[in-house]
Amino acid sequence: MEIAILGGGIGGLSTAIALKQEGFDVDVYERHSCPTEIGAGIVCWPNASFVLEQLGVLDKVARVSGALSYMNRFSSSGESIGSLDINELSRLMRYPSYSIIRKDLMDILTQRALDLSIHVHYQHNVSWLSNDDGKTSVQFSNGTRIAPDIIIGADGRMNSIARKYVNEDNAPIYQGFINWIGVFESQSDIFTELSVSDYWGVGERFGIVPVSKTKAYWAGGVASKSIDRISPDAYKSELNTVFSGWPTIIGKVINGTPLASINKIYVHDHDPIKNWHKSNVVLLGDAAHSPLPTSGQGACQALEDAWHLVKCIKESRDDIPKAFTLFTERRLPKTSGITMGGRQLASSIFNENEAFCQQRNLASKNTDYKATVVGMAKGWASGLPISA
């Protein structure tokens, strides 16, 4: 059985590794000329750590990651408005929670793929998918054409050709806010505790996720009704204007990050779709479901997809349409819930009504975070053999 994966990001590489470990022949086709590094960093929550262990890379991830302890919420003035115990979450789910720079995770997955002799074909940009006699083939812009037995569309949220083929529409939905993202590194110890710091303002947010005592990735967000032209030279001045007067650490992180390491994203997602497959094509990761960063689960759910899809193909390798149907049934409820949850939190964080934000912060302060941790553990562990 020949399997092709369109997209060499976290979802595509992890699926290729999982398939190869089970003895399947698989090739990855990536539009870029080298491994992608889009995004600053991610938290590998326990559900992701479980999958990374199955892929044989969790120990390598641990070496370059931070083991997170708490998620601390603050107002824009620095007042504490709640604290979630990540240690307890990890204990309940029986796997650690790691913060990692996205480039480091991509390097680990890429090396694992190379070690398994998985061929990653770079500079293969998909032009279109077409169905000939009931079997789909892929045409690339460089003239290459392939017709494998299975095509896995892991080609992202913004312009997934596979999603357009399956769903007939791949237009992402702008969710009304901007994220500037970056990676900060200091020569001296800055982060004495490896805990997430999440600051909430009125229509504004700044999050800092330490990876070590000297390194962190961060995101500064602000509500924006329109999508304007991007001017990289203005990123720091934009950030300093928005977050002037916020706690000192925020300015230190912004101004200590090289301008070339900052990116600005007008944040999009997709409405959940009920069908993830057509003919011999199946969607995975952001091509199938693309939760906002407020969900905290984008990369984690792509990793879960890898584990589930390979399991379904193994169970029904003589009936691939059945495998795809099983995969969709197992993944759709969880990913749809995470997508809508991410939207709900974003609408609260980026609300521009001051009275609403005051009540939101008060509600956060009065939240039962022990119960919240239990709920998160149950939700994120669903479908996986990891909860206590």
The C-alpha atoms of residue 109 and residue 97 are separated, in whole angstroms, by 18
Give residue 135's pLDDT: 87
Report, as an integer, the average pLDDT of 65-92.
98
Give residue 35's pLDDT: 84
Report, as an integer, the average pLDDT of 302-319.
97
Give residue 387's pLDDT: 73
Report, as an integer, the average pLDDT of 157-177.
96
Question: Domain segments of the chain: what residues?
Answer: 2-172+269-381
- pTM: predicted TM-score of the whole model, two decimal places: 0.96
Report, as an integer, the average pLDDT of 365-377.
97
> What are 123-155's pLDDT values in tens digits?
999 999 999 877 899 999 999 999 999 999 999
Per the prediction, the chain carries an average pLDDT of 96
Contact 207, 349 (CB under 8 A): no
Residue where the block lists tokens 């641990």: 62
Residue 250 tokens read as 């925020």
What percent of the chain has a predicted confidence (pLDDT) above 70?
Answer: 99
Report, as an integer, the average pLDDT of 264-280.
97
Report, as an integer, the average pLDDT of 89-102.
97
CA neighbor of 196 nearest in space, from 296, 317, 125, 121: 296
> What are 14-46's pLDDT values in tens digits?
999 999 999 999 999 999 998 876 779 999 999
CA neighbor of 338 nearest in space, from 285, 381, 288, 379: 379
Q: Of the CATH numbers 3.50.50.60, 3.10.20.740, 3.40.50.2000, 3.60.15.10, which one belongs to the domain with range 2-172+269-381?
A: 3.50.50.60
The C-alpha atoms of residue 298 and residue 305 are separated, in whole angstroms, by 11
Report, as an integer, the average pLDDT of 100-123.
97
Position 388 pLDDT exceeds 70: no
